[in-house]
């Protein structure tokens, strides 16, 4: 059973994709708690060169609050994690944790099911918005 799903998308640039992803997340009610430039971190720490790779931690505040009210320790397994990795000059791969499956394994509390299902639904909307057409590329260029 996969705990995440991933999708490869075409885009003008990695940075433009991250900007479009950020807008799509906000439209669905997500707040970005943290965004980490892993390429920069590994370059500074280990002098490792790698393609662009970013990790974002996101929540929907009112749903996160409901989860904390039911199970205060859920903050250790959620917020939702999203990774964006550069696979080529105009291609990125986005991977998103599946909150319903992940929480079912980590917490096994059925009272959280409706909340994680709603988070999952909104994450799916975000991915569909970004994959509906090549994001950032004007119509007719692909």
pLDDT digits (tens, 9 = 90+) for 13-52: 888 889 999 999 999 999 999 999 999 999 999 999 999 9
Rounded distance, CA 133 to CA 136, Å? 9
Q: Is beta strand 31-37 parallel, antiparallel or unpaired with respect to 91-97?
A: unpaired
The pLDDT of residue 139 is: 36
Among 122, 133, 120, CA closest to 4:
120
Q: Would you say residue 132 has pLDDT above 70?
A: no
Torsion of CA 36, 37, 39, 41, to 10 degrees: -60
Spatial distance between the Cα atoms of 47 and 41, rounded to a whole number of angstroms: 9
Question: Which residues lie closer than 8 Å to 73 by C-beta, 6 or more apart?
Answer: 107
53 band by pLDDT with thresholds 50, 70 and 90: very high
Taking the CB of residue 15, how many other CB atoms lie within 10 A of it? 13
pLDDT confidence band for 88 (50 / 70 / 90): confident
At 142, is the secondary structure helix, strand, or coil? Answer: coil
Sheet holding 31-37, edge to edge: 4-10, 91-97, 80-88, 53-59, 31-37
Query: What per-residue confidence (pLDDT) applies to 131?
Result: 73
pTM score: 0.84
Question: What percent of the chain has a predicted confidence (pLDDT) above 70?
Answer: 89
Q: According to the model, what pLDDT value does residue 63 have?
A: 94
pLDDT in tens, 92-107: 999 988 887 777 776 7
Q: Are 92 and 86 in contact (CB under 8 A)?
A: yes
């Amino acid at each position: 059973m996969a705990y995440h799903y991933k999708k490869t998308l075409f885009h003008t640039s990695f940075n433009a994709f991250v900007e479009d992803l950020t807008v799509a997340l906000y439209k669905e009610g997500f707040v970005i708690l943290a965004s980490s430039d892993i390429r920069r971190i590994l370059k500074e720490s280990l002098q490792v060169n790698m393609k662009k790779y970013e990790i974002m931690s996101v929540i929907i505040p009112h749903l996160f609050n409901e989860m904390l009210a039911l199970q205060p320790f859920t903050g250790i397994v959620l917020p939702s994690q999203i990774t964006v990795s550069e696979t080529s000059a105009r291609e990125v791969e986005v991977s998103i944790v599946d909150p319903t499956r992940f929480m079912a394994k980590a917490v096994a509390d059925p009272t959280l099911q409706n909340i994680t299902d709603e988070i999952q639904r909104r994450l799916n909307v975000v991915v569909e918005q970004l994959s509906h057409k090549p994001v950032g590329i004007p119509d007719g260029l692909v």
